[in-house]
């Protein structure tokens, strides 16, 4: 546990040693505000809730979260510090989990800084705070899912741009699988059980259920399992690269 804590502190502090953290947070806050109040026509809707705010998160995260995840392992390989890191007397899982948690907490910090949105809707009306809290939980889990994929893709290559592009593509596939366009296409040639299975792998299917205010154990299990599986794959890849 001490090793995990050390890796976490090292990685989390690294975000604020460069302008990356501040640039990411500023872009994220600007985009969430612009998308909610301008593209989402928040005031015209006349509803005191954050549904529009959360609806844009999957598409914002599709590009912003891989930008965080792309450096987790690719940067270590590029500068040659991965050999030093893996030569330390720490379990591999501590390095993988510590890096991921640092990035996830950083993403959570950016999400938490959107609290003025919550204060705004509270001032404008009488929102259901339970639904809003569920939305934040769902958004945090969604960011974790994207980030776990990004960490795995980052472990494959030393090129951060390649890691970013591949992460976006994989996350996009997981996101699109729940859209009516995809499901209608699949239902045209596959039985309903296959359509249901495809939809069950979609981030949107589970995320939309949570932001509606219903925190189902199956949705939590989906994100938890997905994060665990991608981090497990990340650990295998890092170990293979080390052996190679």
Asked if the model's pLDDT at residue 243 lies above 60, the reply is no
Average pLDDT rounded to a whole number, residues 218-234:
93
What percent of the chain has pLDDT above 70? 85
Average pLDDT for residues 85-90, to the nearest whole number? Answer: 71
Give 115 or 80, the one with higher predicted confidence.
115
Segment 114-120 shows an average pLDDT of 87
- Residues 28-50 have pLDDT tens digits of 999 888 887 776 666 666 666 78
* Predicted local confidence at residue 153, as pLDDT: 92
Average confidence (pLDDT) over 15-37: 85
Which carries the bigger pLDDT value, residue 60 or residue 176?
60
* Cα–Cα distance, 20 to 24 (Å, whole number): 6
Q: Which residues contact 70 (CB under 8 A, 6 or more apart)?
A: 150, 153, 154, 160, 161, 163, 164, 167
Burial 191-216 (b: 16+ CB within 10 A, else e): eeeebeebbeebbbbbbbbbbebebe
Section 71-98 average pLDDT: 76
Q: Give the pLDDT score at 174.
A: 84
């Amino acid at each position: 546990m001490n090793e995990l804590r050390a890796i976490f502190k090292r990685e989390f502090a690294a975000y604020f040693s460069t302008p990356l953290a501040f640039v990411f947070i500023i872009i994220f806050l600007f985009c969430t505000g612009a998308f909610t109040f301008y593209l989402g026509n928040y005031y015209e809707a006349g509803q005191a809730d954050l549904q529009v705010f959360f609806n844009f998160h999957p598409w914002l995260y599709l590009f912003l979260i891989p930008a965080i995840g792309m450096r987790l392992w690719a940067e270590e390989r590029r500068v040659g510090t991965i050999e030093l890191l893996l030569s330390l007397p720490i379990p591999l899982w501590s390095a993988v989990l510590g890096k991921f948690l640092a990035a996830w907490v950083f993403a959570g910090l950016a999400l938490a800084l959107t609290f003025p949105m919550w204060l705004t809707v509270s001032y404008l009306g009488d929102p259901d705070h339970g639904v809003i809290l569920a939305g934040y939980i769902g958004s945090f889990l969604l960011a974790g899912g994207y980030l776990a994929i990004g960490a795995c893709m980052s472990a494959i290559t030393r090129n951060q741009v390649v890691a970013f592009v591949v992460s976006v593509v994989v996350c996009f596939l997981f996101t699109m699988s729940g859209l009516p366009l995809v499901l209608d296409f699949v239902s045209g040639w596959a039985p309903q059980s296959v359509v249901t299975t495809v939809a069950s792998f979609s981030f949107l299917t589970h995320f939309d259920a949570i932001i509606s205010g219903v925190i189902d154990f199956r949705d939590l299990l989906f994100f938890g399992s997905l994060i665990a599986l991608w981090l497990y794959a990340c650990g295998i890849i890092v170990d293979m690269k080390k052996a190679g």
